[in-house]
């Protein structure tokens, strides 16, 4: 029998530190817990919210759905050859802790993704990315529990429909599947670290490192992220709040003519990606605080809880930023975080 708790506070289980109550709460520590819940009729009665590290969410004060906290742990090396390593990780493992483990073992491929908050299970759902790397580049497969029929199903890369901060689990299979484990393919030897991102190259150059190994890249990424992003334990935040918008090249060229210095990165022949943080900063929001909510002084892309903020206050602040950017640039900002009611 799986323990189901009632009226559980989630204040310490979301990195924004928002007050929220789960009407029902289950801590899932092994995959069999999900099978037991299915047999007990839990999934036919409820549509639960799946909680990982609580790092990419905005919670309302009282949720309408039960919460399943995925705490399935374990890291296992399935295959290790001269160049490659196949590694299976439990969905509840802390993502940064896993990256740190991989780097210390000499496995390359995830070092650019250091210090991204959240769990391993959430990483492919979001197709997390940073400093020129996305998880899809090292992804082999994941095992998910289908809440509709109580079965476990394996999804390979081509089945996950990865996109920019997107996957099939945020679209067609949203609210239908629970990730229980992830298998990644990392490089054991002959790995060339990705240092194409200008900010990362600059950080390495500042240290006088011209030919970095994975540990050099890992340490540089950690240093850059810590200089830009607040520690959620000190200042509540959900990481990057908005996606970097992808706009048509005609609009980008028009903005270039009217606003010298607007950065942009080609996506294809017709589209350009523009940094959301730059747009928000130009609109005057960097470091600005209204009531309990503010925009972080070192990175305008991060909305922070200065103390006692509610989910409603966070969302109102975000909407005001969206309105400002739309008015100034004609660009629509889309939240990267998940909004849970």
Confidence of residue 15 (pLDDT cuts 50, 70, 90): very high
Give me the pLDDT at residue 9, please: 97
Question: Is 31 an annotated catalytic residue?
Answer: no
pLDDT in tens, 77-105: 999 988 899 999 999 999 999 999 999 99
pLDDT in tens, 273-322: 999 999 999 999 999 999 999 999 999 999 999 999 999 999 999 999 99
Q: Which two tokens stand for residue 190?
A: 């002959």
Catalytic residue chosen out of the listed positions 20, 55, 71, 240? 240
**How many helices and strands (H and E) does the chain possess?**
10, 20
* pTM, to two decimals: 0.88
SS3 content of the chain, % helix, strand, coil (to 5): 30, 30, 40
Write down the mean pLDDT value for the chain. Answer: 95
Question: Is 312 an annotated catalytic residue?
Answer: no
Catalytic residue chosen out of the listed positions 134, 181, 219, 336? 336
pLDDT in tens, 135-168: 999 999 999 999 999 999 999 999 999 998 899 9
Give me the pLDDT at residue 298, please: 94
User: Is-contact 89 113, C-beta < 8 A?
Assistant: no
Q: How far apart are the first and last CA of the chain?
A: 28
Q: Hey, CA dihedral for 211, 215, 218, 223, is it positive or negative?
A: negative
pLDDT over 90 percentage in the chain: 87
User: Is-contact 129 239, C-beta < 8 A?
Assistant: no
Question: Is 336 an annotated catalytic residue?
Answer: yes
Q: Which two tokens stand for residue 174?
A: 């949203």
Measured distance CA(93)–CA(91) in Å, rounded: 6
Q: Which residues of 178-212 are buried (b: 16+ CB within 10 A; e: fewer)?
A: bbbbbbbbbbbeebebbbebeebbebbeeeebeeb
pLDDT over 70 percentage in the chain: 100
Catalytic residue chosen out of the listed positions 55, 134, 165, 167? 165
């Amino acid at each position: 029998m799986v323990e189901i708790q009632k009226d559980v506070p989630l204040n310490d289980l979301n990195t924004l530190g928002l007050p929220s109550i789960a009407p029902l709460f289950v801590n899932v520590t092994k995959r069999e817990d999900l099978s037991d819940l299915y047999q007990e009729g839990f999934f036919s009665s409820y549509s639960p919210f799946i909680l990982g590290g609580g790092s990419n969410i905005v919670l309302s004060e009282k949720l309408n759905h039960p919460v399943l906290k995925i705490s399935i742990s374990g890291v296992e090396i399935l295959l290790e050859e001269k160049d490659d390593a196949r590694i299976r990780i439990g969905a509840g493992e802390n993502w940064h802790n896993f990256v740190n483990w991989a780097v210390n073992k000499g496995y390359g491929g995830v070092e650019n993704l250091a210090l991204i908050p959240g769990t391993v299970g959430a990483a492919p759902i979001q197709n997390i990315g940073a400093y020129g790397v996305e998880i899809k580049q090292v992804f082999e497969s994941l095992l998910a529990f289908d809440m509709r029929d109580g079965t476990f199903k394996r999804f390979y890369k081509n089945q996950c429909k990865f996109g920019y901060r997107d996957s099939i689990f945020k679209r067609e299979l949203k609210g239908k599947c629970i990730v229980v484990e992830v298998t990644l393919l990392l490089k054991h030897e002959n790995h060339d670290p990705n240092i194409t991102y200008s900010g990362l190259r600059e950080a390495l150059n500042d240290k006088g490192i011209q030919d970095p190994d994975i540990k050099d890249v890992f340490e540089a990424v950690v240093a850059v992220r810590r200089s830009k992003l607040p520690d959620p334990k000190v200042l509540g935040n959900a990481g990057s709040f908005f996606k970097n918008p992808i706009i048509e090249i005609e609009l980008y060229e028009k903005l270039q003519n009217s606003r010298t210095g607007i950065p942009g990165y080609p996506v294809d022949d017709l589209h350009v990606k523009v940094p959301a943080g730059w747009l928000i900063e130009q609109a005057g929001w960097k470091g600005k605080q209204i009531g309990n909510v503010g925009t972080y002084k070192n990175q305008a892309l991060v909305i922070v809880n200065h103390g006692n903020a509610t989910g409603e206050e966070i969302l109102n602040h975000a909407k005001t930023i969206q309105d400002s950017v739309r008015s100034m640039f004609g660009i629509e900002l889309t939240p990267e975080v998940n909004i849970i009611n």
